[in-house]
Amino acid sequence: MANGVFTKGLKAGFTLYIDIARSLREQLLTVATDNNVTRVHDVLINEQMQTLTLLERTWLSHALHVEAELYLEAQVDHLQQLLHIRSIMLGVFLALLVVCYLVVYDPLVVAMDAHLKTVRGLLVVVPAEVAQTTPSMRKLLMTSADR
């Protein structure tokens, strides 16, 4: 495994595996035309075949499991950070909503309620027919209603 599998990572291991498999295929294709089983057997028990088997059965499968676990941990960490950021954004939005209610909406409702009570009070004191016939009263009611 001095060909860089441990120092260069999983991709190097798979590249080595594929290169060895291609080399073995070429060797098998050259001896496949012979009827000599000993040559085929020699190719199947040589050092490259043992390395290929060792890579397949132990190192690459374990490396895939480790790589998958690392990837899963990275994804979970990323999702937790995203969830934390979204929670902060929700908190800021709700805080701004409460501030807008207290600063903008509530004073408008209180002011409208005060104007409405003023207009109702005027209508109770002065009958509607009299208020509509008197120009100054009608102007006062209309300006109070417009606010």
pLDDT at 70 over 60: yes
Q: Model's pTM, two decimal places? A: 0.51
pLDDT tens across 80-102, in order? 999 999 999 999 999 999 999 99
What's the 3-state SS for the chain? CCCCHHHHCHHHHHHHHHHHHHHHHHHHHHHHCCCCHHHHHHHHCCHHHHHHHHHHHHHHHHHHHHHHHHHHHHHHHHHHHHHHHHHHHHHHHHHHHHHHHHHHHHHHHHHHHHHHHHHHHHHHHCCHHHHHHCHHHHHHHHHHHHC
